[in-house]
Structure 1
Amino acid sequence: MAAPRIYLDYNAGAPLRPEVRAAMIDALDATGNASSVHGEGRAARSKVELARRLVAKLVGADPVRVIFTSGGTEANVTVLSPKMRIGAGEIAIDTLLVGATEHPSVLAGGRFGKSDTLAIAVDGEGRLNLDDLSGKLDGLQAEGKRALVSVMLANNETGVIQPVAEIAAIARKFGALVHTDAIQAAGRIPVDIAALGVDFLTLSAHKIGGPQGAGAIVLGGDLASPLPLLVGGGQEKYSRAGTQNVAAIVGFGVAAECARADLDRQAEWTLWRDEIATAAHPAILLSGGADRLPQTLSLSVEGLQAETLVIALDLEGAAVSAGSACSSGKVGISHVMKAMKVPESQAKAAIRVSFGWQTSESDIRRFTEVWGRVMRRLAPGVTRAA
């Protein structure tokens, strides 16, 4: 019998948790639109509101400030809006500042035009350049322009954790609003929206063992909110029109509850991450000098193409990825590697290893064995020399 596959691509999507599957099946078996006032509708609505409370707990938020969406990309694009509601009024945002290593859904600028979107530089480890952020905000303020700053809490390719609380404090000095994409961070490290000091935080269910097609916007303390991307009905308190996907939202809530419990595994995951980095000779560990997620690492084997290594590992039963799944099918160097100014020979060979709730110590051990076999075949001279 063939050995079970080793799935180490959690940053693309985590396996569906059994608790989530059971809750979703129960929700699918129920009748009723969550916006209807009859008994069936009220029952569906109660399931949605329970999920809202569970998702809010994951990031220390007030449930009334959670807006459900169809996923992380919709959540990000909705937040990246040049018009915001504050109280009964609206304000205009002139310029969007984004980290140079953001997820493609943020780097594209959302509803801002290209000319109104500026990238903030990062260093060689992938950490945001705070002086560049301050300089750009200062220049915009001098021009009488208001900014929205969007910086992810943890990078999806390298796992680098950004100093979002410090970034938010800098932005506040210049009257800017702040968004953080916490999609990769939630459930891997503690996330508290109040401690971060941001106006908006976005999440996705399938990164934490929930279903694909469910996400959320979480509003911060100042009660600013973007104008809706989808308009029509009054769902989500007129923040996102469209019939709620009750089953997916229920699954998101259960996954959020489970992900909170996963935080107890940070030390174990960090140990496994570092074990892989040590055993993965002759790979170079990228962003190794930065604060990183406990279950993500980026490796590069100079002289190999990332696609070649991913395919070779896949044929041996191990699933990893080359960069972001949202950029799959594109030939070329990751924008994250370019922003970090990683040498081309290393950038072309960069792969990502990420794990999570279902990963076992046996998976880690078997992966290092698979890695050794693949390296002996693809880089025999280097491995023999070691």
Structure 2
Amino acid sequence: MSDQRPSVYLDHAATTPMLPDAVAAMTAHLAHPGNASSLHASGRQARRVVEESREQIAQALNCRPGEVVFTSGGTEADNLALKGLWWSRHDADPTRTRVLSTAVEHHAVLDALGWLADHEGAQVELVPVDRQARVDMEALREAVERDPASVALISVMLANNEVGTVQPVAEVTELASAHGIPVHTDAVQAVGQLPVDFAALGVDALALTGHKLGGPLGVGALLVGREVAVTPLLHGGGQERDIRSGTLDAPAIAGFAAAVELSVKHQADYATRIGALRDELVERVRAAVPDAIYNGDPVDRLPGNAHLKFPGCEGDSLLMLLDARGIECSTGSACSAGVPQASHVLLAMGCSEEFARSSLRFSLGHTSTTADVDALVEAIGPVVERARGTSTRKATA
């Protein structure tokens, strides 16, 4: 028995359907043999696909083609940036032991930093955020200026994957550049939803991935400045400036590049349409459930993100009740799904554990329609009522 496609998909922040042009670009090369490192004709053709794709991405994100390093996705790109920058900076000056980041980063960043602390002796300092999940710039400034020479790098995400709040990364790079400190940003959620300009941001490394913006799974990139030294995680054939060895997946890279180009080209129109649909979703859900609370910055946020708390409910119960009605959403990051725990993002925002466990993320994407919102609004009242009844019975059991 084959799985039915969900009737209402509201989890585009986890992964979004591939754009038709990206499917076409990828499938056009799937049947062609050729390793991009080979010197014969098939190899040269694969290399041409890779380099043309690299140029597409560079033009879309305003960086040089040589600054695009292909990876298997956002997690690898984040790990490569954090570990590679830390090793390079620490090797050049062993007193550079501190890494500054925020408490609301994706686990691809937080867990990589935890590994550096446990195995490499890095001193990781997580700067606090405000009630909207925005980094406290004064706290970051104090942390830098306390001893700038000891800071190996700073990592601040461009937009939060759970509550959607956009971070002041340009302010972070301005602060860091005054002290010669490299900055990495996880832009996995931002590309295609926000204007992303690598040169204008002033960051040294920027992570993105295909499946969040209409490209294939299993391919992404780290944009890294040509002058930035990065110690590789992988060793082998010396591909990608000797930063990331491994045979390149030319078909997936072609699909990825097509998705980046299209999502950036149509970003403004996308943000207008999806932002209006998101606002409609929030307004109508809160009309159906008047005590629902909107989490994150109400204005300066990802256009497709609607993160809501439903008092008296368990988020996991809401998710499964909605799923039974064919409506798919999330309690937070898909990378930590299946583990019933309070969101580290909401806890860092100062929310209680009960608050953090009673929230859902509805994320819209390029296939979202008013009909999706209609279905959610029709279901959310009865689902919340049932979930609250379940919670009450558990509390009195």
TM-score of the alignment, normalized to the shorter chain, above 0.5: yes
Shift of 1:205: 0.6
Given the alignment of the two structures, is residue 253 of structure 1 paired with residue 257 of structure 2, yes or no? yes
Correspondence for 1:107 among 107, 110, 121: 110
SS state at 1:375 partner: helix
Question: Quick check: 340-349 or 122-131, which moved more?
Answer: 340-349
Name the Cα RMSD after superposition.
Answer: 2.1
Q: Note if contact 2:100-2:151 (Cα within 8 Å) is conserved in structure 1.
A: no
Question: Quick check: 122-131 or 4-13, which moved more?
Answer: 4-13
Given the alignment of the two structures, is residue 121 of structure 1 paired with residue 125 of structure 2, yes or no? no
Q: Note if contact 2:88-2:229 (Cα within 8 Å) is conserved in structure 1.
A: yes
Given the alignment of the two structures, is residue 345 of structure 1 paired with residue 354 of structure 2, yes or no? yes
Given the alignment of the two structures, is residue 59 of structure 1 paired with residue 66 of structure 2, yes or no? no
Deviations 1:295-349 (A, max 9, x none): 1021110110000001111111111001101111222111101100113332111
Given the alignment of the two structures, is residue 207 of structure 1 paired with residue 209 of structure 2, yes or no? no
Correspondence for 1:21 among 11, 16, 23: 23
Deviations 1:352-373 (A, max 9, x none): 1111111122222322222234
**Structure 2 matches for 1:1-386, cutoff 5 A?**
5-81=7-83, 82-84=86-88, 90=92, 93-110=96-113, 112-114=116-118, 115-141=122-148, 144-220=149-225, 223-263=227-267, 264-281=269-286, 282=289, 283-289=292-298, 291-379=300-388
Deviations 1:6-53 (A, max 9, x none): 111111111122222222222111011000111110100111112112
Deviations 1:158-204 (A, max 9, x none): 01000000011111223311011111000001100111111111111
Shift of 1:56: 1.8
SS state at 1:180 partner: strand
Q: Note if contact 2:313-2:384 (Cα within 8 Å) is conserved in structure 1.
A: no
Query: What is the CA–CA distance in structure 1 between the aligned matches of 2:245 and 2:387, rounded to whole Å?
Result: 52
Shift of 1:4: 5.9
Shift of 1:3: 9.9
Amino acid paired to 1:190: P
Deviations 1:50-69 (A, max 9, x none): 21122223321111110000
Q: Note if contact 2:310-2:384 (Cα within 8 Å) is conserved in structure 1.
A: no
SS state at 1:56 partner: helix
Q: Note if contact 1:140-1:147 (Cα within 8 Å) is conserved in structure 2.
A: no
SS state at 2:160 partner: coil
Cα gap change, 1:91/1:59 in structure 2, threshold over 3 Å: closer, same or farther?
A: farther
Question: Quick check: 226-235 or 15-24, which moved more?
Answer: 15-24
Cα gap change, 1:91/1:258 in structure 2, threshold over 3 Å: closer, same or farther?
A: farther
Q: Note if contact 1:146-1:175 (Cα within 8 Å) is conserved in structure 2.
A: no
Cα gap change, 1:157/1:3 in structure 2, threshold over 3 Å: closer, same or farther?
A: closer
Shift of 1:378: 3.7
Shift of 1:90: 5.0
Query: What is the CA–CA distance in structure 2 between the aligned matches of 1:358 and 1:77, rounded to whole Å?
Result: 31
Question: Quick check: 321-330 or 289-298, which moved more?
Answer: 289-298
Stretches (4+) displaced over 6 A: none
Cα gap change, 1:306/1:75 in structure 2, threshold over 3 Å: closer, same or farther?
A: same
SS state at 1:217 partner: strand
Q: Give unmatched runs, 5+ long, in structure 2.
A: 390-397
Q: 2:394 maps to which residue? A: none
Query: What is the CA–CA distance in structure 2 between the aligned matches of 1:99 and 1:58, rounded to whole Å?
Result: 28
Question: Quick check: 53-62 or 232-241, which moved more?
Answer: 53-62
Amino acid paired to 1:98: S
Identity %: 40
TM-score normalised per structure 2: 0.89
Shift of 1:290: 5.4
SS state at 2:360 partner: strand
Query: What is the CA–CA distance in structure 2 between the aligned matches of 1:330 and 1:51, rounded to whole Å?
Result: 37
TM-score normalised per structure 1: 0.92
Amino acid paired to 1:67: V
Cα gap change, 1:57/1:371 in structure 2, threshold over 3 Å: closer, same or farther?
A: farther
Query: What is the CA–CA distance in structure 2 between the aligned matches of 1:305 and 1:214, rounded to whole Å?
Result: 34
Shift of 1:227: 0.8
Deviations 1:236-292 (A, max 9, x none): 121111111112111111111221233122112111111111111322101144510
